[in-house]
Amino acid sequence: MKIAFLGVGNMAQPIISGIIENNVFSGENVILFDVDTVKLGSFAGSVGATTTDSAEAAVWASDIVVLAVKPQIMEGLLKELSSALTLRKPAIISIAAGKTTEFINSCLDYDAPVARIFPNLNAKVSEAISAYCGNKFADAEFLATVEAIALSFGKAIQLDEQYFPVFGVLAGCAPAYTFLYIKGLTDAAVQAGLPYDLAYRTAIQVALGSAKLLDSVTETPEEMINRVCSPGGTTIEGIKTLKNNEFEEIIKKAFDASVNRDKSL
């Protein structure tokens, strides 16, 4: 079985690396196409994948086509490839936000097995949490392959597609929110007197260790906050300030803004 990736951008690259490194597909069975031929050649060489000089050639050579392109250009690309897709009839996997399996099927002239995987940038360190789903033409064997792909770069859950917009923000956008939080901690520590590198590395480790700790206990986040906060201590003063300045409400507003943007794609 051969799989083609149309697009080898920031999100596709760790997925491709994951499936090859974890033997989901061998390098010679992974076919890549991207309009940036320099990036394409360099990346393909680094992972041992095969390249083609056109998206159409990639379709003809594959059993599964992964749409790793921006959602705004997906419809045009599928229409451009309509003839090859209809004759070859590959299964389709999309990693794009906003475009449903129903929408993708509506752009095709055959009853394609279509699946979506919603990964996040943490796939780069094999720590993504990805949701996947399939349409009514996606059988158990195809979905097992989709799951194996998702598991090759982190954790995976099968999820009803109706939840994808919210899950996509939680898993896909929240890493950037977390990066901003770490930057804010770093900047505050530097302003208070710590050297930048020490502040930055400490902020990263605090976020990493806190997440691991929370994952290892049965207590809720609120209960863990109370464990850290001593009455009259330094932590509780910071927590009071965060709450007084509507820290949680700000996060919710950012989350809602991302959800609304997903709906407009």
Match 């392959």 to its residue by tokens: 145
Instruction: Read off the pTM.
Output: 0.87
- pLDDT computed for residue 33 by the predictor: 97
Instruction: Tell me the per-residue pLDDT of 159-208, one tens digit each, with 9 for 90 and over.
Output: 999 999 899 999 989 999 999 999 999 999 999 999 999 999 999 999 99
Which H/E stretch holds residue 93?
Answer: strand 91-94
- pLDDT computed for residue 93 by the predictor: 98
- pLDDT computed for residue 127 by the predictor: 95
Which H/E stretch holds residue 104?
Answer: helix 101-106
Domains along the chain with CATH numbers: 3-159 (3.40.50.720), 167-264 (1.10.3730.10)
- pLDDT computed for residue 183 by the predictor: 98
- Positions in the chain short of pLDDT 50: none
Tokens describing residue 167 = 């899950």
